[in-house]
Structure 1
Amino acid sequence: MAIGALTPPPPSENPAESLVEFPDNRLLIDLCGEYDRNLAEIEQKLGVQILRRGNLLAIHGEEAAQKEAVEVLGALYQRLESGRDVGQGDIDREIRMGGGETETGTRDGDQLEMFRGGPVEIKTRKKLVEPRTEAQKAYVLNLFQNEMAFGIGPAGTGKTYLAVAVGVSMFIGGHVDKIILSRPAVEAGEKLGYLPGDMKEKVDPYMQPLYDALNDFLPGKQLAKLMEEKRIEIAPLAFMRGRTLSNAFVVLDEAQNATTMQMKMFLTRLGEGSRMVITGDRTQIDLPRGMHSGLADAERLLSGIDRISFNYFSASDVVRHPLVAAIIRAYDADMEKS
């Protein structure tokens, strides 16, 4: 099989191998990675062996695994041809997504036109963000398409990260005037006591994951200026009461720790021209015993309403360290037994 060339590779004498030809040797070097670490990553994840022969790669292994490796290598090479880099996250995404993007179909809104027939990408000031699983891809499309979207699933599945990335993309594209990020200031099992400092210093430790996400997408000086101008706000959920949030991209993180009344209060802040994203993990509720999570009520009451989407993630969508997925599966299995 030839990638990006009209001349097919020489036929393999070994039926247990697939040959793939790459015409640009410089791109092939980038595809293989330093010390062939990209090839090693594909070998480890797909259970194949990849040997380099000039501008050919010979893939050994089971037939299905060979085919998948060819598709992944082809998608990564096309990525390099388009001028983009290839990193470990890109390899992981192509393996999870089956070696490439498919037609995304017809969607409303001019900001969705960029996805038509091409990869789903979120452009921010500092980086290009791409979904790494099918569930993440569906989630991102719903974030652009719907005025209210829920992302529910375990830690490490990119729920908040992708939501903030879409918010930044819509902000720099002029689709919203501000970004508002919020989460309940609830302690995760331990008592932190009275924190020192002013109000901002007291609540900042709870908001740190949101700061981390923003710092990934916006240059430090620009982020500081936008926060000073109140065009980007990070505030505890309690501070949302009494506000009408118009022309804003609003994210509520850790929504499983919002009470029923807090959730209703937050959802009814939605103003003209705004988008809301609510993310949470039903297995990590830190509310006091006997207090009901508002996220569960929102699922039950709102799932049939048009323009409100619900996306669900599982351990297979975890994009942190592979051990995180194994840990989540272990806890899920234990909960099913009890």
Structure 2
Amino acid sequence: MTTGTLIEASIEFPDNRLLIELCGEFDRNLTDIETRLGVQILRRGNVLSIHGEPAAQAEAKEVLESLYARLEQGRSVGEGDIDREFRMAPEAPAAGSDRQLEMFSGGKVEIKTRRKLVEPRTDAQKAYVKALFQNELAFGIGPAGTGKTYLAVAVGVNMFINGMVDKIILSRPAVEAGEKLGFLPGAMEDKVDPYMQPLYDALNDFLPGKQLAKLREEKVIEIAPLAFMRGRTLANAFVVLDEAQNATTMQMKMFLTRLGEGSRMVVTGDRTQIDLPRGVPSGLQDAERLLGNIPKISFNYFTSKDVVRHPLVAAIIEAYEKDSGGT
């Protein structure tokens, strides 16, 4: 039915229970789609009618059908899933198969962990996850909130539970973020725990608490400051260096040369948040300069458009980038 220049499109969904989940509590999922596209979505029984301009109506129809397909597969639909549908460009399934890319089905990228299924929300995140599976050394560089560390830890857990690595090692430089924390009481683990908390948070999302505690007790999963990596050869391990912009050039060289047989390394950082003393060069920037042309080393970059935290985070990052001329 046509009303002026506006078009009404109807979609019938066979399972009313799934349709209720698709609409969300108080139709909040429909409201989200309406706000993003400037359409109106009305429900009549098992039919959703979309009113709006042709292009917007077609996109709304595509998003609704994709979200309903998720529900048919037994998966949930939330705000993050809607956000992903709008951010991700469609992609045809890749030809062939690879043991390391088994979770890439139907053009989608999915990371299975013990507690949840993790899906990239942007094209940059999707390319990054693929690079993590395809390369022995991968760099993820960009602002806070773009999922660099979260996705790297998720891939590490996936590789561990699938037997591709024997252990997970997560590390950060213990550098104060512009604050003098002073003397921290307790044993060594107590002193460094505040620096490592973001890594604990990510692991807790992917592994049950008791299993994580047992794996840490057995040293199968290690979380340690960068300085503790010296003198080690890390074989058959998935190793993540987080906040790498705060590693010095010598620390970065030391870390990268720990790579052992059967291991994967991921280095993440944000060049705009260097907390090293004035005049001390960042090892992350040197690594970009020196390693950019070496095969089997990938560099993936993120911008404020890839921020998946609160929408205000992206706006804040953009404001600071504009003020500094994008440097």
Query: With structure 2 as the length reference, what TM-score do the two structures score?
Result: 0.96
Within the candidate set 248, 254, 266, 1:277 is matched to: 266
- Please say if residues 151 and 312 of structure 1, whose CA atoms lie closer than 8 Å, have aligned partners that are also in contact: yes
Deviation at 1:106, TM superposition (A): 4.4
Moved over 6 A (4+): none
Within the candidate set 102, 109, 114, 2:92 is matched to: 102
Deviation at 1:136, TM superposition (A): 0.5
Q: Which residue of 1 aligns with 2:176?
A: 187
Structure 2 CA distance for aligned equivalents of residues 294 and 118 of structure 1: 35
Of 64-73 and 252-261, deviating more is 64-73
Of 17-26 and 260-269, deviating more is 17-26
Q: Which residue of 2 aligns with 1:289?
A: 278
Q: Which residue of 1 aligns with 2:17?
A: 26
- Please say if residues 103 and 111 of structure 2, whose CA atoms lie closer than 8 Å, have aligned partners that are also in contact: no
Q: What are the equivalent positions in structure 2 for 1:160-199 lying under 5 Å apart?
A: 160-199=149-188
Within the candidate set 68, 72, 81, 1:77 is matched to: 68
SS of the residue aligned with 1:170? helix
Structure 1 CA distance for aligned equivalents of residues 217 and 179 of structure 2: 32
- Please say if residues 181 and 234 of structure 1, whose CA atoms lie closer than 8 Å, have aligned partners that are also in contact: yes
- Please say if residues 245 and 274 of structure 1, whose CA atoms lie closer than 8 Å, have aligned partners that are also in contact: yes
Q: Find out whether 1:55 has 2:46 as its counterpart.
A: yes
Q: Which residue of 1 aligns with 2:8?
A: 17
CA shift digits 1:274-315 (9 cap, x unpaired): 000000001000000001001011111111111111110011
Q: Find out whether 1:318 has 2:307 as its counterpart.
A: yes
- Please say if residues 256 and 295 of structure 1, whose CA atoms lie closer than 8 Å, have aligned partners that are also in contact: yes
Within the candidate set 144, 150, 165, 2:139 is matched to: 150
The verdict on how the C-alpha distance between 1:70 and 1:279 changes in structure 2, with shifts beyond 3 A counting, is: same
Structure 1 CA distance for aligned equivalents of residues 272 and 81 of structure 2: 29
Q: Find out whether 1:206 has 2:195 as its counterpart.
A: yes
Length, aligned pairs only: 325
- Please say if residues 260 and 297 of structure 1, whose CA atoms lie closer than 8 Å, have aligned partners that are also in contact: yes
Structure 1 CA distance for aligned equivalents of residues 188 and 310 of structure 2: 34
Structure 1 CA distance for aligned equivalents of residues 307 and 50 of structure 2: 28
Deviation at 1:188, TM superposition (A): 0.5
Within the candidate set 36, 51, 56, 1:65 is matched to: 56
Deviation at 1:101, TM superposition (A): 5.3
Deviation at 1:52, TM superposition (A): 1.2
CA shift digits 1:145-166 (9 cap, x unpaired): 1101000000000000000000
Q: Which residue of 2 aligns with 1:240?
A: 229
Structure 2 CA distance for aligned equivalents of residues 263 and 221 of structure 1: 33
Structure 1 CA distance for aligned equivalents of residues 198 and 310 of structure 2: 17
SS of the residue aligned with 2:102? helix
Task: Determine what percentage of the aligned residue pairs are the same residue.
Answer: 78
Aligned residues: CA RMSD: 1.4
Letter in 1 for 2:149: T
Deviation at 1:47, TM superposition (A): 2.3
Letter in 2 for 1:90: D
SS of the residue aligned with 2:232? coil
SS of the residue aligned with 1:327? helix
Query: With structure 1 as the length reference, what TM-score do the two structures score?
Result: 0.93
Structure 1 CA distance for aligned equivalents of residues 166 and 214 of structure 2: 14
Structure 1 CA distance for aligned equivalents of residues 111 and 326 of structure 2: 40
CA shift digits 1:62-103 (9 cap, x unpaired): 3222221111111101111111111111111111114x5532
The verdict on how the C-alpha distance between 1:211 and 1:34 changes in structure 2, with shifts beyond 3 A counting, is: same
Q: Which residue of 2 aligns with 1:221?
A: 210
The verdict on how the C-alpha distance between 1:337 and 1:87 changes in structure 2, with shifts beyond 3 A counting, is: closer
Deviation at 1:194, TM superposition (A): 1.2
